[in-house]
Amino acid sequence: MFGMVMGLWFRLFPTYYRVVPGRLDVLRGSPFAGTPWVRERHDLRNAQVIAHFDEDTLYVYSPGRRSLEIDWKTLSEPEEFVKTVFQAAVCTHPAPPLPDDTLLG
């Protein structure tokens, strides 16, 4: 029963992660809004990024911000996601301007 409720919750309020050079954006949707919106931005160049493979969790500790904890078991390609986040953290290219209310790709 709990699993069904959580599955419905994730479908009604989906979370999307957008990784760009030096930044991780967290976009959240709702059944009341037509498009997801950026809710959090994490500067990966100034953050401490830790992957706990025994917990299947990625932690992003940004100075002066609430830490971000991502359980990557819910992602379709978790290893690729973790690799991409670490690559974005060390990338020196500037992030392109992106809309706050549109998924890309």
Say if residues 80 and 86 touch (Cβ distance below 8 Å): no
Per-residue model confidence (pLDDT) at position 12: 62
**Rounded to whole angstroms, how far apart are CA atoms 8 and 2?**
10
Sign of the CA dihedral with 10 first, then 100, 41, and 98 last:
positive
Write out pLDDT tens, residues 13-57. 788 899 999 999 998 877 666 677 778 999 999 999 999 999 999
Write out pLDDT tens, residues 50-97. 999 999 999 999 888 889 999 988 888 999 999 999 999 999 999 888
**Rounded to whole angstroms, how far apart are CA atoms 86 and 95?**
15
Kindly compute the dihedral angle of the four CA atoms of residues 87, 91, 97, 103, in this order, to the nearest 10 degrees.
0
Domain positions in the chain: 27-94
**Rounded to whole angstroms, how far apart are CA atoms 82 and 17?**
11
Please classify residue 80 by burial: count the beta carbons closer than 10 Å to its beta carbon, then call 0-12 exposed, 13-18 middle and 19+ buried: exposed
